[in-house]
Structure 1
Amino acid sequence: MTLPTPNLDDRRFQSLVDEAKRLVQQRCPEWTDHNVSDPGVTLIEAFATMVDQLVYRLNRVPDKNYLAFLDLIGVRLYPPTAAHTDATFWLSAPQPEPVRIRAGTEIATVRTETEEAVVFTTSRDLSVVPCALTHLATWPASGNAADRSEELALGRDVPCFGPTPVPGDSLYIGLSDPVPGCAVVLRLDCRVDGVGVDPRRPPLLWEAWDGNAWVACEVEKDDTGGFNKAGEVILHVPATHTGSVLVRQSAGWLRCRLLQAAPDQPTYVASPTVRQAGAFTIGGTVEAEHSEKVVEEVLGLSEGVPGQSFQVARPPVVAGEEPFVVEVAEGPGWLEWTRVDSFAHSTPYDRHITVDPNSGQVDFGPAVREADGTLRLFGAVPPKGCPVRVRAYRTGGGRRGNVSRGALRVLRSSLPYVARVANRRPALGGVDGETVEDARVRGPMTLRTLHRAVVPHDYEQLAREFAPDAARVACVPAGEYRAEGGTDGARTDGAQTGGAQTGGVRLLVVPTGRDDEQGRIRFEDLIPPPATLARLADHLEERRPIGAQLSVEPPYYQGVTVVATVSPSRGTAADRLRDKALTALYGYFNPLTGGPDGQGWPFGRPVHSGEVFAVLQQVPGVDLVEDVRLFPADPVTGQRGEATNKIELDGHALVFSYEHQLRVREA
């Protein structure tokens, strides 16, 4: 039974006896002997025994029938989903040969006296490729690229940017090999010039070439203060890094690009220089999920009859990229049995099985007696005495896997040349399995949709059921994306745009993200994994009407930058007020938890400057909001449009806070 039968009646014999005695005191006060030796009390206890049984059965029937009805219409408890994060493996020292970390490597949190360790496993193989700096080039915003490798080899001071640095000037570093997914250390010897930049906030962006475009690198550490002194820069290179040709040299190219400085951010008045430079690989990053892989688990021996059931040893079964496959030893090898949703269309020759991920129960096809007395097999029957095993499955999942940043720091097994491991970002996406009460609520909605998607609400309901780790889903008509000069927002999937299609729908999926203490969300955290989108599209493809065009993708994110000036109340610290005001802005213009109702910014809702006035005026310590300006921005390139009082959003767009700026005027 997939849905467990709950204990619905909590009334027992003693409660009925006590209730009867209270009524005796009210209705018959002359009856004063309530001891068990009294004949009247004996009768009360006898009737309480019979009433206890009757009430128990009477109250149990409706709910039991309700759960049985849910089981008949195909309602199953959803299993937990596994949290995901990126795990970075740091080497003890640079190695001359690639260091390989195999898929399935286990890492965990620290085990305490009260809590067991939370175990994550890597999803794919990781190769930490060694590298060295082989080329250096510069490319001003208005000019041609120049190879500076010889000047660097002679120990000369190589200017990183043009004589008068302007946004777009870039310094290019060529590595001996591409280093996808690796942590690279750049050792730079820069002259201490003090070229006007704030060493704590240099307007620089490190990027790597992925074959199609320049992708931002995450900066772990920058000791150079923006090329102001000798030090190290540690970069986390994207997993798509590939080789390319620049200044007639083939290498794994990285670049440092000068950005447009913010109004309160100093910029370069002269170009910094590099005298010596070197590079090596010190680690690598790979995806990890809160699950453990079980391989070739034997379930038992077949009895050679229809309707057999087996149980995996470690439920629940967490969905993964590999399909759940059962194998039966027939003849010289193992034959594969395919998982299906039901046996409704299975013939006696189909090797089909069903799996309940929540309980881990594996069922083979049953036999149903027809009206003429014959038995009809729904699926093949494994021969008697043959071993049955599961090729591989993953177990784990749940909210317990949503660990904080840096919590995964224990290697469950020793790895050569690996000194430590850590997760640089919190794990997200872990959801507990569905409860019976949740299934009771979902039952009427399932009966209405009948597992078919016809209207937009059906698509959204089926998507929430299949992907409970998604923060938001919305179904909108297929249409065009609005793009005016590339400064309105950002597509996150690279999908082709086109005119609206008759009968076409677009399902927008927003993954779960976690903001920092100021309410900021990394733009990369709002991009659903391609595997999740593909599985969801396959699930809905089987349930859409014939002829309907379906597209499952992320929304269009409209970047919004707020530039505001406020006056503080008497006695209010400016720095503290600035932090509070920025937190309020990032919290209100939040695609997950913002908006007027705090349930996430509504799809297609425009942004008005008047809302900014209202949000800032409610911040404690703000006496007056003097000025507010809105700028449309591209979260990917950082390009900002013209100031406006209203930013329109299409029906498939969400707002994204991008680098708000707040000035607190001194009293």
Structure 2
Amino acid sequence: MPLPAPATDNRRYQALVDELVARIPSHTPEWTNFNDSDPGVTLIQLFAYITESLLYRTNQIPERNRAKFLQLLGVPLAPAQEARGLVAFANGRGPTESLVVPRGTEVFAGALPFRTATSLDVLPLEARFYVRRPIISPTQEQQDYYALLYASYDKPVPQTLALYETVEVVGGGGVDLAETVDHSLWVALLGRTMDNVPAKDRDGWDDLRSKLAGRTLSLGMKPDQGADQIVARPGTPPALSDGLLRFELPSPGPIALDANGSPMPSYTRVAARADFDPLSQPGIIELALPAAAGLDLWHLDPLEAGVGDLPPVADAPDVAARIVTWLRIRSGSTTDVKLDWVGINAAQVRQQLLISAEQLAPGDNTPDQVRQLRQTPVLAGSVTLTSIENNTRHDWTAIDDVRAAGPEVAIPGAPDMGDPLAVFSCDAEAGTLSFGDGFTGRRPKLDEALYASYASTAGAAGNVNAGALKGGSMVPEGVTVTNPVPTWGGADAESVAAAETQIPRFITHRDRLVTAEDFRAITWRTPGVSIGRIEILPAAHPDVVPLTIGSAPGAVTLMVIPIRDPAHPDAPRADRPFLNTLCNYLDPRRLVTTELVLRGPDYVGIWISIGIEVAGGRAVAEVVEAVKTQIKAFLRPLPAPDTPMPQLPMLYGPDIDPALRGWPLAQAVHARSLQAAAARAAGVVSVEDVLLAQGSGAAVDSIALSGLELPEILGLSVVAGSPLSLDALRGATTPSQTAPRLPVPILAETC
């Protein structure tokens, strides 16, 4: 929407009268009659009437001048951003033949609509995921078992023997391939229980294999996107990994043996297609399945299963009997691949509501016509416009500024620039369409029918939790759908207050990253993210130790913290999508000679135990909670929730107190400072003692912080009386250890 102009003075007649009458006792105490019949009050009312008229005329001058100035600047509000996500379809009771879910299929999270970004073939398959985790220290019983096993074959136990356990990755969530013996994730592609019927073939699945031949398996993948560092180097875009993942199926035919009689299985690489970097971005990988013969299984002796590079053993009988084939996802031995989630029959979705052929008010042949769309905010670039005039259809072209178009009627002698005449510009945040005045761009003619098609979004409301997306009327029968991971990227439109603070800066830097204030101002305007704190370290680089301003000329480090993180509410992390969004927005705006480093903070875990004396008449539990709230607010890395936006001064000048942005960088945490903060809580008579420690260390007076380090409270205890010991605090806070999994002993030469 256009930025509204502020009024010079918004007082009206009655407000002026009330203010003047209220001043009478201060200036003329002897005046005691304030009724309308008093001549003095009549004069006040007269001057108030005249003043109101003057104020009205005064307000028109800056409004018109400022509106015209902003129009020339072209500073619109940043529009809302759509949320995106991944969904997994399950063909539990649908047909085994080709079942294609078309692009634009609608699914819902409550009343919020999401649409699939691509079409996919929903295969009649289920999937189980396994990794082979090494057993670092096998028990003596396991070693004796394998010694006897080799002795039964008159062979010594190989020195290269390695044991591993097969671990199922439930739901495909949380995989670190670096922690496996073969840097692989094994996907057992299973037939459905309803399809497992007796057949003439050896395992009952040859008919299904023939139906899967040549079809496409849509593999959804979301990499681990925890805190990371992204570097935009001079003259180059951010680097992306390529070709570091291989997707393989067992090769048909018998398994060869090496000189020692160990199996040497071979795998066929599956053609994979993706338009994203699977090691840093979530998305869909399309795998082209081979002919039916390429989907077969090796049928092995029980002692051979899982040896070397053979697939792991699925012990559950109901799983083993339904395995159609194995898919191996393998990374390079030097590649650190962590996956938050992986699944089959997946598709990308976007939170948007599509409006088709919405009829607008017809044209009236006047210059500078404006039409309002009904659903706002509008997704930028999604609007298409068509008009009908004298039974003739006209398609209009969207451009940034209609004043760049040619004249409606050719000017004699003027060269033909070839510019389109039927053009419009769209303010996505306000949902308005603007047309030309005839000299620049064609005007919609009288009674010319206008029809607009576009997409609207709910912004930040589209960021929903895992499992929130359900099916819709367009989902085929027998197919279910849900989102295994939360959606991301939705952001509301920019507020007027935030946009107005950027106008002087826009005039100064013209959207270029030059000074430290340019970095702060432009970063705050990044669409699609909610930023809670920005720290700019000019001429500094995290790889240059110590990290100090001026130590690395040509580099700029930005420490950025999101405003919220459900997984870490007290210490928000900057994950990879957050940093990627910032990098994509800032990279084209930086100087080619600047190396820009985007980082989240380095949190230092601390333990705090406080003993207090509670005032009489106050509840101990209430005072204890007040002290905890005070300490958490004192060490908070972000500003207090009710802090206004002082990070955005109107003009260049003194910045705000760094302490108002959260805990300052390079400031040590002192036990005495925590004692003073605790003493300020209501109901605290005195603080007996404060115990402060880092990690598993002993109590110290202070913890030094440097570089991008900020404190994170791992455990906080507040009790009446003497403080709880740090060992007791750590024991009470440390999560309980899960029972170790039973290792599955597998005879393996190499794993």
Same fold (TM over 0.5): yes
TM-score (normalised: structure 1): 0.56
Which of 371, 376, 381 in structure 2 is aligned with 1:310? 371
Match of 2:2 in 1: 2
In 1: Cα distance, 2:78 partner to 2:129 partner = 54
> What TM-score do you get using the length of structure 2 for normalisation?
0.51
Instruction: Report whether the alignment pairs 1:350 with 2:419.
Output: yes
Return 561-570 or 329-338, whichever deviates more.
Answer: 561-570
The structural deviation recorded for 1:519 is 4.3
CA separation of 1:174 and 1:467: change in aligned 2, threshold 3 A: closer
Match of 1:34 in 2: 35
Q: Deviations over 1:378-425 (max 9, x none)?
A: 3466777765544x4322334544556655557476653344646753
Report the Cα distance in structure 1 between the residues aligned to 2:127 and 2:345, rounded to whole angstroms: 18
Structure 1 pair 124–421 and aligned structure 2 pair: CA distance change class (3 A)? same
What is aligned with 1:455?
515
Q: Distance in 1 between matches of 2:510 and 2:93?
A: 58
1:180 Cα deviation (Å)?
1.0
Which aligned pairs between 1:77-476 and structure 2 lie closer than 5 A? 77-87=77-87, 93=93, 96-97=96-97, 100-108=100-108, 110=110, 117-125=111-119, 127-131=121-125, 161-162=163-164, 168-169=180-181, 173-176=186-189, 178-181=217-220, 212-213=244-245, 239-240=283-284, 274=315, 276=317, 277-278=319-320, 286-299=347-360, 307-319=368-380, 324-327=383-386, 334-335=394-395, 337-341=397-401, 343=403, 349-351=418-420, 352-366=423-437, 377-379=439-441, 388-390=450-452, 392-402=453-463, 411=472, 415-419=476-480, 421=482, 424-425=485-486, 429-435=490-496, 437-467=497-527, 469-471=529-531
Q: Which has the larger radius of gyration?
A: 2
Shift of 1:181: 2.0
**Distance in 2 (alpha carbons) for counterparts of 1:566 and 1:17:** 60
Amino acid at match of 1:447: I
**Bigger share in strand:** 1
Percent of residue pairs identical: 20
- The answer to whether residue 52 in structure 2 is matched with residue 52 in structure 1 is yes
Distance across 1 between alignment mates of 2:125 and 2:372: 49
Q: What amino acid does structure 2 have at the position aligned with 1:274?
A: D
AA aligned to 2:220 is G
CA separation of 1:61 and 1:95: change in aligned 2, threshold 3 A: same
- CA–CA distance in 2 between the matches of 1:32 and 1:529? 68
Q: Distance in 1 between matches of 2:478 and 2:634?
A: 43
Write the letter of the residue equivalent to 1:430: A
Distance in 1, matches of 2:640 and 2:576, equals 13
SS at match of 1:310: strand
Counterpart of 2:566, as a letter, is D
Higher relative contact order (CA 8 A, sep 6+): 2
Change (3 A) 1:531 1:447: closer
How far the C-alpha of 1:355 sits from its partner, in A, is: 1.8
For structure 2, which runs of at least 5 residues remain unmatched after alignment? 137-160, 168-177, 190-215, 223-240, 248-280, 298-311, 324-341, 408-416, 546-550, 614-623, 642-657, 682-686, 698-702, 717-725, 733-751
User: Across the two proteins, how many residue pairs are aligned to each other?
Assistant: 519
Gaps of 5+ in 1: 111-116, 143-158, 184-208, 216-236, 254-270, 368-376, 485-499, 571-576, 632-644
Kept in 2, the 8 Å contact 1:293–1:394? The answer is yes
Q: Aligned-pair distance for 1:463?
A: 4.0
Question: d(CA) in 2 for partners of 1:75 and 1:2?
Answer: 8
Structure 2 Cα separation of the partners of residues 513 and 313 of structure 1 = 32
Could you list the per-position Cα deviations for residues 578-627 of structure 1 after superposition, in whole angstroms to 9, with x for gaps in the alignment?
xx99xx99996979999x9484787xx6798x779988999999977586
Mapped contact 1:398–1:431 kept (Cα < 8 A): yes
Counterpart-to-counterpart distance in 1, 2:527 and 2:467: 26
Q: Does 1:73 align with 2:73?
A: yes
**1:244 and 1:315, CA in 2 relative to 1: closer, same or farther beyond 3 A?**
closer
Q: Contact conserved, 2:535 with 2:558, CA < 8 A, in 1?
A: yes
> Cα distance 1:531–1:455, how it changes in 2: closer, same or farther (>3 A)?
closer
CA deviations over 1:20-68 (Å, ceiling 9, x no partner): 55566774857758355x6666555444433332344446655665555
Deviations 1:281-328 (A, max 9, x none): 998655544431223445465566754433323232233xx5545456
Deviation at 1:432, TM superposition (A): 4.2
Q: Distance in 2 between matches of 1:39 and 1:428?
A: 65
CA contact (8 A) 1:108 1:410 kept: yes
Q: 1:656 to 1:340 in 2, by over 3 A?
A: farther
CA-to-aligned-CA distance 1:3-33 (integer Å, 9 cap, x gap): 3356665533334444555566774857758
Q: 1:521 to 1:478 in 2, by over 3 A?
A: same
SS in 1 for 2:244: coil
Deviation per CA, 1:327-365: give whole Å up to 9, x if none.
567998654514225635878642253222222222234
Q: Judging changes above 3 Å, is the alpha-carbon distance between structure 1 residues 244 and 310 closer, same or farther for their aligned structure 2 residues?
A: closer
Distance 1:462 1:356 in 2: 20
